[in-house]
Chains A and B, each alone.
Chain A
Amino acid sequence: MKRIISMLIENKPGALARVVGLFHQRGYNIESLNVGPVFDGTYSRMTVTTRGSENEVEQITKQINKIIDVIKVADLTEGEHHEYEFILIKFNKLKLTIKIQKILKPLGGKVLEKNTKVIVMSASGSSSDVEAAIKAIGKANLLEVVRSGSLGLHEGEKVLTI
């Protein structure tokens, strides 16, 4: 089952490597990863998606919690949560523009660059919607796809904070 693990880690050199290294070391796979400093910039929010049984994910979160640079960890998939992903795409088949714009409309598709050679667009939505959209456009019609990886937070009043 797909799991979204969210954490707050110290914004220090090596902190990211410790988290990523742990997944590899304990035999777990990272499907996507997103990290960036938040608030005062002394710490970062990181979102990792992985696959595993409940027991496996419990073991992953416990092991992550042991990393000295990790401040907090939560398995968002344990409860209700929001999940969002951003993508950028580039294509050069200009006659497909209207079709692609239509596919990306529910994902807030925006044209960032348009000229006689290429079009660059952005869009965002849940990972499954994003995946479905890319599939609908067709791999063969795209020059490039960039995905941010899932971002997530709890639904309701629950927050992950230091």
Chain B
Amino acid sequence: MRALKDEGVKLIFGYPGGAALHIYDAIFRQKALQHILVRHEQGATHAADGYSRATGKPGVALVTSGPGATNAITGLATAYMDSIPLIVISGQVHSHLIGTDSFQETDMIGISRPIVKHSFMVQDAEDIPRIIQEAFYIATSGRSGPVVIDIPKDKTDPSKLYQYKRMKQVTLRSYKPRVVPHPGQIKKASKNLLSAERPVIYAGGGVILGDAHKELIALNKILKAPVTNTLMGLGAYPAADKYFMGMLGMHGTYQANMAMHNADVILAIGARFDDRITNTPSLFAPKAHIIHIDVDPASISKIINADIPIVGQVKESLAALIKEIKRSKLKIDSDALDSWNAQIASWRKTHGLNHDLYLQKTKSKMIIPQVVVQELYHATKGNAYVTSDVGQHQMFVAQYYHFNKPRRWINSGGLGTMGFGLPAAMGVKLAYPKQEVVCVTGEGSIQMCIQELSTCLQYNLPIKIININNEALGMVRQWQDMNYGGRYSASTYADSLPDFVKLAESYGHVGMKVTKQSELRQTLDKAFAMTDRLVFIDIYVDPDEHVYPMLVAPNGSLQDMWITKNKKA
């Protein structure tokens, strides 16, 4: 407990069980750390993860051995794929029972190995403070990520006392995460960027994790290049800025994908050329010279070869790049940039997203899901922390909720974990009780961690849940429409959905249902006016409204997009 307190931990999300009971007794006997009892260990890991994404500090989850540990696995994998610093402490059976198939025994270190940055099994109780200190250091430094600490029950035996030691500084001979960006590479990148005619800045989640959004904005004050963010990078560059093109990739905007495909220089920052970004790698951005800044050398030239690799902390690398650009005699080619930005504006005009859909009278009798997001933006003045689950609703938020600040958009990008949204929102709300926290979800995803509604009541977390209800697994349905001739295999369940209003009420919250567009705005206003209550707003939308643009796959490039169900751009 003391080691956790010394790491600045204020909240632990967890669920008790036999092997963790000594630790739970220690929690009871102290006041520095608050424990949040979730209803399922997956909820604990997502809540700690959400807390981390919103605050930048590592989140902590505590689970017991066996099923407690295995239930934490999805949360670990979620954090691992998005490089989120997360500490999961798992109880383990008595050390003399390990390997005997004893009650609630599972090899947590083995099961979690491929989805953690590192893990520790406590062998000596007196090592616990050192291990906790090392775990936090590893989780938060370099390319951050989750760390597991597995503690056999006998190593937390309260009848044995040890001296508490804390190192001034953690040093590990096998782990040196700090890398200084190479000055020669910075120089090359500067020259390349300043002589570019069609540059694009492609910024990912690394800019947010590396706390480098200010540097990114400062850099583009000079470069005046169009900017696109990945799903994980939304908020790293202000959406309101005139150079912002929106998200790129599978459901990226037309202009962002076209700009990437036609660019002569791409500056990739804290992004990893995921397959949802590149489409077919061999067809990716054929004319572009690629500069890639990343703290993780293994991310560079993994999928797409980088012409100028820069290994370093994003913040530090961008600062060095700005300094070098200011020092350089070269100046940006304003004429070329003007015509490039004009080209992007014309792409935006032809197939760009309509950000004022909510002002239009819709032909459809049903609510269009995009309008829900736009009305949400309106109701929250664009200032909310928005978590999401996975599917069409997630993409609609990414496209239509304009994030101007980092750490406001909290979603499972890499792993795509349904069930993430509600527990993540709990973590955010506990970190920032006075801020508006919204979970945008779908009737599929929300049911994967719905039990956490009970946790929200226990700790009085007035989250607003926007349930975009299309009575089907929307994204699955969309793929079945596009690629499987509309055969809806296992993606519909309209007759067996719960009454979400009653469900919310039975958990002690407020439930609201909206089926007409004319009622949408007033219902949202009413819900957000209830500042001390969790409100579950069940919004029935048009199930045939899909997410576009959509990249043509397989064998497509970034310029091959479906603009509507039947029309390719």
Using a CB–CB cutoff of 8 Å, the interface residues on chain A facing chain B are: 9-10, 13-14, 17-18, 21, 25, 55, 58-59, 62-63, 65-66, 68-71, 162
Contacts and interface: CB of A to CB of B under 8 A. Distances in A.
Contacts of B119: 14
Given A14-B109, A18-B113, A162 B173 contact: yes
A68 B109 contact: no
B113 A21 contact: yes
A68 B113 contact: no
Nearest to A61: B298
Interface SS majority for chain A: helix
Contacts of A17: 110, 113
B485 interface: no
A13 B121 contact: yes
A83 to B, nearest CB: 25
B297 interface: yes
B302 A10 contact: no
**Residue among A9, A25, A66 with most chain B CB within 10 A:** A66
A66 B138 CA distance: 11
**Candidate in A58, A65, A68, A71 with the most chain B CB atoms within 10 angstroms:** A68
A68 B142 CA distance: 11
Contacts of B117: 68
A101 to B, nearest CB: 45
Contacts of A13: 121, 123
Interface in B107-141: 109-110, 113-114, 117-119, 121, 123, 138
A25 B114 contact: yes
Nearest to A64: B298
Contacts of B167: none
Contacts of B490: none
A17 B569 CA distance: 49
Given A14-B119, A17-B110, A18-B113, A66 B296 contact: yes
Contacts of A10: 174
A65 B121 contact: no
A103 to B, nearest CB: 43
Interface string B83-126: 00000000000000000000000000110011001110101000
Contacts of B529: none
Contact of A62 (B121, B172, B174, B297): B297
B175 A68 contact: yes
B172 A68 contact: yes
B110 A68 contact: no
A65 B117 CA distance: 12
A69 B173 CA distance: 9
A162 B121 CA distance: 25
A2 B389 CA distance: 45
Contacts of A70: 174
Nearest to A18: B113
Contacts of A14: 109, 113, 119, 121
Contact of B298 (A9, A63, A68, A69): A63
Interface residue range, chain B: 20 to 34
Nearest to B296: A66
A25 B172 CA distance: 25
Interface string B289-313: 0000000111001100000000000
A130 B119 CA distance: 39
Given A13-B121, A14-B121, A18-B113, A71 B298 contact: no
Contacts of A69: 174
A5 to B, nearest CB: 15
B174 A66 contact: no
Given A17-B113, A21-B114, A65 B173 contact: no
A59 B298 contact: yes
10 smallest CB-CB distances across A and B, nearest first, come from A62-B298, A71-B174, A68-B118, A25-B114, A68-B175, A63-B298, A21-B113, A62-B297, A10-B174, A66-B298
B273 to A, nearest CB: 13
Interface in B222-272: none
B164 to A, nearest CB: 23
Contact of B302 (A18, A21, A25, A59): A59
Interface in B172-187: 172-175
B297 A65 contact: yes
Contacts of B143: 66
Contacts of B302: 59
Given A18-B113, A25-B114, 9 more contacts: A14-B113, A14-B121, A21-B114, A58-B301, A63-B298, A66-B143, A66-B296, A68-B117, A71-B173
Interface in B54-78: none
B153 to A, nearest CB: 19
Contacts of A21: 113-114
Contacts of A18: 113
15 contacts: A9-B174, A10-B174, A14-B119, A55-B301, A59-B302, A63-B298, A65-B297, A65-B298, A68-B117, A68-B138, A68-B175, A69-B174, A70-B174, A71-B173, A162-B173
A9 B172 CA distance: 12
B33 to A, nearest CB: 26
Contacts of B113: 14, 17-18, 21
A10 B174 CA distance: 8
Contacts of A71: 173-174
A69 B118 CA distance: 9
A152 B105 CA distance: 40
A68 B171 CA distance: 12
B114 to A, nearest CB: 5
